[in-house]
Amino acid sequence: MSPRAAIALLLAGVLAACAGAARELVDGWSEVGAGETIVVGRFELVPPLGKDEQKIQALNSGQFENKIFVIADDNYLDAQG
């Protein structure tokens, strides 16, 4: 393994440790706990990405193209204040 690949693998491992566990898929409202929120919606880019406009130049990056990841916090934020 090259030193560059080893550094990339180490960095990926460190960053993955920061994310925490993913939430299990929910099949019904009864599986949503008190104090939890479900957001249902859709993101739309205006104007949309053109063909070949999104190019991620990294190892195994094709799985991330044309996808969006939303990161939310456990604490509510008062946007008015």
Query: Which pLDDT tens digit goes with each residue over 20-79?
Result: 566 677 788 888 888 777 777 777 888 888 877 777 777 766 777 777 777 677 777 777
Domain region containing 58: 36-76
At position 14, the amino acid (one-letter code) is V
The span from the CA of 55 to the CA of 24, in Å, is: 30
The span from the CA of 18 to the CA of 24, in Å, is: 18
Total domains in the fold of the chain: 1
The span from the CA of 74 to the CA of 34, in Å, is: 13
Instruction: Establish if 65 belongs to a structural domain.
Output: yes
Q: Is the predicted pLDDT of residue 19 greater than 70, yes or no?
A: no
Instruction: Establish if 54 belongs to a structural domain.
Output: yes
Distance, first Cα to last Cα, the chain: 51
CB atoms within 10 A of CB 8: 14
Does residue 8 or residue 68 have the better pLDDT?
8
Instruction: Establish if 1 belongs to a structural domain.
Output: no
Residue with tokens 């690949």: 5
Instruction: Establish if 27 belongs to a structural domain.
Output: no
Instruction: Establish if 61 belongs to a structural domain.
Output: yes
